[in-house]
């Protein structure tokens, strides 16, 4: 996969692909260092601390780096969707390396602090005394264990909040854009979104809005074509029109409303199934 990125230079013009390639490199190093440490411990191989610490640092650094990369990728998608035409300079493909270096620094500085605050056994010479390369033998003081737990909780809490925030914001933004687009089409307006604002492409002199039955028929066509993403948009608008702008129930539309709700429920189910896959 990395070879594909290296041979197709156009991937380097997109910040998303650059971050993804960086995650692949980071995860490869993390897997390699973890496997090496595992084999050394299983084989009871001992060697001086000066050779063990870099391996442990690499394993810890890449592990923490993974969580930050996931949060950064979520933020990059958030920026790309919320600011499609005004992408901040820091998130452009030619500047994304600044963010990558910041992630690298944050991931590296905390393990360094953890290894530096521990108490060292004066009987152990880091250059000559052989030890088993496990964190419990290198980071043996209680303050190091407390610091490690606090940093892990902080990292995962921040990453969870960032991912949840960006997911909800993107969901709300795309839902609003989707509803605004359908609502304008119902009134006979053709619009495009520029810098987050709708701009009319065509506005008829006389506008006759579509009815709930019209929206249902459009949504049903998308439904029968298994285009559930667009069927949800039209069926939601159909239900809203059937019930009236004020939420009033219109008896003559009851049968069609029932059909719209039935089609809408299944369309939502299929959309979420596709998202899950």
Which stretch of 33-42, 101-110, 253-262 has the lowest confidence by average pLDDT?
253-262
Per-residue confidence at 205, pLDDT binned at 50, 70, 90? low
Tokens of 67: 């969580």
Q: What is the pLDDT of residue 3?
A: 73
Question: How far is Cα 249 from Cα 93, in angstroms, rounded to an integer?
Answer: 52
Per-residue confidence at 172, pLDDT binned at 50, 70, 90? confident
Please state at what angle helix 142-186 crosses helix 49-82, rounded to 10 degrees: 20
Q: What is the pLDDT of residue 245?
A: 47
DSSP secondary structure of 69-93: HHHHHHHHHHHHHHSSSS--GGGST
Tokens of 252: 């003559």
Cβ-Cβ contacts under 8 Å for 274 (sequence gap 6 or more): 228
The residue ranking higher by pLDDT, 192 or 172, is 172
Distances, alpha carbon 4 to alpha carbons 12, 251, 273, in Å: 11, 60, 30
Question: How far is Cα 146 from Cα 174, in angstroms, rounded to an integer?
Answer: 42
> What is the pLDDT averaged over residues 69-85?
80
Tokens of 112: 């360094």
Give the SS3 label for residue 201.
strand
Question: How far is Cα 164 from Cα 197, in angstroms, rounded to an integer?
Answer: 25
Domains of the chain with CATH codes: 2-173 (1.20.1070.10), 180-276 (1.25.40)
Question: How far is Cα 65 from Cα 102, in angstroms, rounded to an integer?
Answer: 11
pTM of the model: 0.60
CA angle 83, 165, 229 (to 5 degrees): 70
Q: What is the pLDDT of residue 12?
A: 73
Q: Which of 46, 42, 263, 82 is nearest to 165 (CA)?
A: 82
């Amino acid at each position: 996969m990395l070879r594909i990125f290296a041979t197709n230079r156009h991937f380097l013009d997109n910040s998303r692909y650059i971050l993804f390639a960086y995650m692949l490199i980071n995860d490869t190093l993390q897997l390699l260092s973890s496997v090496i440490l595992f084999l050394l411990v299983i084989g009871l191989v001992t060697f001086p601390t000066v050779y063990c610490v870099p391996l442990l640092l690499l394993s810890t650094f890449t592990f923490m780096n993974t969580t930050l990369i996931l949060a950064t990728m979520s933020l990059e998608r958030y920026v790309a969707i919320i600011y499609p035409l005004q992408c901040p300079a820091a998130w452009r493909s030619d500047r994304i390396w600044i963010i990558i270096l910041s992630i690298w620094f944050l991931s590296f500085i905390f393990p360094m602090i953890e290894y530096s605050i521990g108490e060292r056994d004066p009987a152990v010479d880091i250059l000559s005394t052989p030890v088993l390369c496990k964190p419990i033998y290198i980071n043996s003081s209680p303050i190091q264990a407390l610091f490690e737990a606090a940093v892990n909780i902080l990292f995962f809490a921040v990453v969870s909040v960032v991912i949840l925030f960006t997911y909800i914001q993107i969901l709300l933004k795309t839902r609003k854009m989707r509803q605004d687009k359908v609502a304008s089409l119902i009134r006979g307006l053709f619009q495009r979104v520029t810098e987050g604002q709708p701009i009319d492409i065509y506005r008829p002199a006389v506008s006759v809005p579509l009815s709930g039955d019209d929206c249902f028929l459009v949504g049903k066509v998308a439904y029968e074509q298994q285009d559930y993403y667009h069927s949800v948009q039209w069926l939601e608008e159909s239900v809203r029109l059937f019930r009236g702008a004020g939420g009033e129930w219109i008896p003559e539309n009851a049968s069609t409303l029932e059909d719209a709700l039935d089609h809408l429920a299944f369309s939502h189910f299929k959309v979420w199934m596709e998202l899950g896959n």
